[in-house]
Structure 1
Amino acid sequence: MSDPSVTLDAGPAAAQAPVGLYAFPARAWHRAEYAGLQASALGPSLTVVCEPGGELAWADSSVATLGRRYAEQLVQQEGARQRPLVLLGWSVGALVAIEVARRLAGRCTVAWVGSIDGSLFPALRQELQQLPPLPAAERAELEAVMRRWLQASPLRAAWSAALQQMGAAEHELFLRQVVAAYGHALPQDGPQPGSQEHALWSRLNCLRLGLGHVLPAGLPAPLRCWRSAEMASQPDGLHDAYAGHPGCSEPEVVAGSGHLGVLDSPLLHARLVAALSETAPPAGRQPA
C-alpha cells in the first residue's frame, strides 16, 4: 500500500523510462533543490521523492526512517517493471539514497547510487567522537542557558523534537557551537521562514540528520560521485567511507560549479545523461 505522506514528483516519461531515476533532496520537503535537473534533458524521466508540507513537520525524522519509507514506496511504484534503478542524492540526500539502496537489496535492482557533493557528515561524525567531553561545570552552565532559551522560544516544540533525536555527539556539538556561540543572544524571532531562529533551526536539523546516521558497513550498490568545484578540496565523507570497496568510483569534479548551484550545472546534467545511457538495458530488453 502506498504511503500518502511520500510525494513522488515524476516527470511525464518517468514510468516508461528504461531506467528508473529517483532523486532525494537534502531537506526532505524541499523538492525545488532539483528544479535544475527537472528543467534539463533528465527532467522527463526524473522522479523526485520528497515529503509534503513544510520543514517543521519533519523535526523528529531520521535518515533511517526516511530510507525505510522511501524504499517501501519505490517497491510499490516499480511493481513488476524489473528495470534497473538509479538513486541520486545531493548533500544529506546522498545518505538517504544509500539507505534506500540498502533497504531495496533483494527487492529491486539498484544499478548505482549517484552522490552529488556527498555529505561531510560521516567524517565529521568520526571527528566529534574523538573530541574530549566538555568539563562538567561548563556543560551545566550551557545546559542552563539552553533551558532558559527554550522556555521562551516560539519554536520550542520543533527544537525539543530535534534535540530529543540527537545522540551524544550531536548534542555536544550543539552546546559547543550554538549555545556557547550565541550565549544569551540565541534568536527568538519565531518559526516563520526568513527568521533568524528558523534559519538556525533548519541548519541544525539538517546537521542532526547527517550526524545521527551511521552508514552501512558494506556498500549496498555501486557508488558514483560528483563534486562541485567549490567542494572538490573538502573531504567527501560518503566516498571516503567506501573508498577501496568494489564499485566505488573516484569523484568527478564539475568545473565552474558551487555547492548550492551544482544541481543546476549543464556539465553535471551532461555527465548524468552519459552515465544513464550506459545503464539502460540493451535494445530489445526494455522493462515491461
Structure 2
Amino acid sequence: MSIIMKGADVAKSIKEELVKEVEALKEKGITPCLSIIRVGERSDDLSYERGARKRMEMTGIQCRVTALPKDVSQEEFEQTFSRINEDSDVHGILLLRPLPKSLDEGPVRAMIHPNKDVDGMSPVNMAKVFSGDETGFAPCTAQAVMEILQYYGVMPRGKRITILGRSMVVGRPLAMSLLKADGTVTLCHTRTEELAQECNKAQILVAAAGKARMVTEDMVGENAVVIDVGINVDEDGGLCGDVDFEAVKNKAAYISPVPGGVGSVTSSVLAKHVVKSAKGFCKMLAQNSSIW
C-alpha cells in the first residue's frame, strides 16, 4: 500500500513558518499584501480565488481582489493591471489564467514587476528559474511539487525522473528545479513515442498532462513516487487527476491524491512567495532604495 502524500500536511508545515515571518514583518510596519486579478467568473478561477484568500487570511496576509468583466477591453485591462503593479502597498500580483481569448496577456507579462510576480509569469522570473537563480519566483504549482517531495523526504538527487507535460506553468520550470536538485530528468508529453515505457522507467513520475486518468498501472514502475498535478472533471462530474489513482496506489511507494494533493500546497507556496516579496521590500526600505 502506498504512502499517501497529503497536501494538507505539507501546507500546515509551511503555514507555521509563514505566520512567524508575517508577524515579524508587521512589527516592522509591513503588512504583506496579495492582489488577485480575475477576468470573468470561471468556476475554476473562483474556486482557486477562494482557496487563495483563505490561505492568505490564515497566515495574516492581506488579500485584495480586482474582478473585471469578461468583456473588458484590452486597454482597460492593461490600465488596471498597471495601477496595481505601481501600488507600493501590493507585494504580490496573481493574475488568474487563462484569460478570455479577447485579451492578450503578453503586455502584462512584460509589464509586471519581477518582485511582485509571485506566480512566475514574467520573462525575468522564468529566465531565473531556467538559470537556477533562486532569487526569482517559480510558478506556484511547479514549486508545490518540490515542497511535497521535500516534506516526504524524497530526494531527487540521482533519481530517474519523468515529467509528463511540457507547459511553462508546470512541466518545463519543474524540470529545471529538479535538474538543479541533481535529478536526471526526462520531459515527455502526449505525443511521446513509447510513452508508457518512458514513464515506467521513472523512480519519480510527475503527471501534468491535463488528461483524466491517462496514467495507468502499466505506466508506473514498482515502488515509484507518483505526483499527480492534473485536475480534471470525470464523466460523473467529480474531480480526478491525470493518474488512475485506484489502479496505481498499490504499486507506487508514494502517491499524491486529487483532490487533496498538489493543489492543496499551491496556495501555500503563493503565500510563501508574497512573504518573500514583502521581506525584500522591507530590506530595500532599510537601505533607503526602491524595490519597485
Q: Normalising by the residue count of structure 2, what TM-score does the alignment of the two structures yield?
A: 0.34
Task: Please state which structure has a larger fraction of its residues in helix.
Answer: 1
- TM-score, normalisation: structure 1: 0.35
